[in-house]
Structure 1
Amino acid sequence: MKHHTLLASALIGVVASARSMTPMATISAARLLGRSTPGRLALLDRPLFRLGALVLGAGELFGDKMKTAPDRTVFLGLLARVMSAGIAGAALAPRGREPSGAVAAIATAVPLAYVGLDIRKNAMQRIGQTRSGLMEDALIVAAGVAIVALAVSSKSRS
């Protein structure tokens, strides 16, 4: 699938707004399955980075349900979103447009983190932290997988 727009980059920013590590985990999983991203990013070809991204992605899904989990808009939460969205946005951008892809993803992730936090807090009041978190996880992980699956190609076709 040819991509000439930054749509995949912006959409992965939506994912990063809710789960900071999911964009990198889904891209790492795709790379492990032999897929390549449109944008060049040597970082994704390092096995230790791929494993770390997968572990952090899984850990975040568990940690989010803890009563002591910080809001996604605290400084470190936003920093993680900026970094993950930037890396993932660059990887999903068309070749040669990686910086623009990073900017598109970050510009989507940061403001939507605030919107998502408000939605999540309302859901927590209604159905609790764990149930609302599991529902958000299912939606965000599915979105991340779908976005990455549509944006990547098999290495044999690249």
Structure 2
Amino acid sequence: MIQSILKPFGIGVVAGMRSMMAPAVLSHKLSHTMPVSEPHSPVEYAANPTTATVLKVLAVGELIGDKMPGVPNRTDMPGLGFRMLSGGTCGALLNEAEGKLVVQGAVAGGFGAVVGSFLFMRLRLWIDDELGLPDPVVALAEDALTIAAGWLIVDSISIEPVSEAAAS
């Protein structure tokens, strides 16, 4: 029961840190563990290798864009809303992939995105202000943490790998 909340909450926190990283790592994992030739459900579309590639490109674009001056605050609308949508969607997909309650995953993921957005924004500002580290250095450290946390969460998804022969 608790895992059906913690994993989606965690992937939501990742979405709160970098909105596209959560769907990118989740889709990458799904595309390697449940290949589907003809998708019929949302989780099967997320498992599509083309989807995974597009999401990874978007995630890299976000990592680069975050370093640009004048980027809006992650806790301002519409950015926060998009992070909530990303976290909720990823939480729902994660629970669907594990055969757990989709609605529970969506709520936990959306809430995790809000928590992650505010928590890591405040942490980044504190490190910048109190420790005097340059923001680009802190941003790169946050990127690394986001990727690592996302991968740890999706790597714990309990789906048996499907051989390509069985998938076709």
Q: What's 1:85 paired with?
A: 87
Deviations 1:58-83 (A, max 9, x none): 11111111122211112121122112
User: Are 1:40 and 1:95, in contact at CA under 8 Å, matched by a contact in 2?
Assistant: no
Deviations 1:127-146 (A, max 9, x none): 11210001111111100001
CA distance in 2: counterparts of 1:49 and 1:74, whole angstroms: 28
Partner amino acid, structure 1, of 2:101: R
Q: What's 1:20 paired with?
A: 19
Q: What's 2:54 paired with?
A: 52
- Give % identity: 32
Greater C-alpha radius of gyration: 2
After superposing on structure 2, the runs of 4+ consecutive aligned residues of structure 1 that deviate more than 6 Å are none
Partner amino acid, structure 1, of 2:161: K
CA distance in 2: counterparts of 1:31 and 1:16, whole angstroms: 17
How many residue pairs match? The answer is 153
User: Are 1:40 and 1:91, in contact at CA under 8 Å, matched by a contact in 2?
Assistant: yes
Deviations 1:71-118 (A, max 9, x none): 111212112211211111012224240111010011121133122211
| Displacement of 1:35 | 4.5
Equivalent runs, 1:95-134 vs 2, <5 Å: 95-125=99-129, 126-134=132-140
**RMSD, matched Cα:** 2.3
Aligned partner of residue 112 in structure 2, secondary structure: helix
Q: What's 1:30 paired with?
A: 29
| Displacement of 1:28 | 1.6
**Mapped pair 1:144 → 2:150:** yes
* TM-score normalised according to structure 1 size: 0.85
* TM-score normalised according to structure 2 size: 0.80
Aligned partner of residue 78 in structure 2, secondary structure: helix
| Displacement of 1:43 | 3.2
CA distance in 2: counterparts of 1:112 and 1:106, whole angstroms: 10
CA distance in 2: counterparts of 1:22 and 1:109, whole angstroms: 12
CA distance in 1: counterparts of 2:162 and 2:53, whole angstroms: 23
Aligned partner of residue 137 in structure 1, secondary structure: helix
Q: Where in structure 1 are there 5+ consecutive unaligned residues? A: none
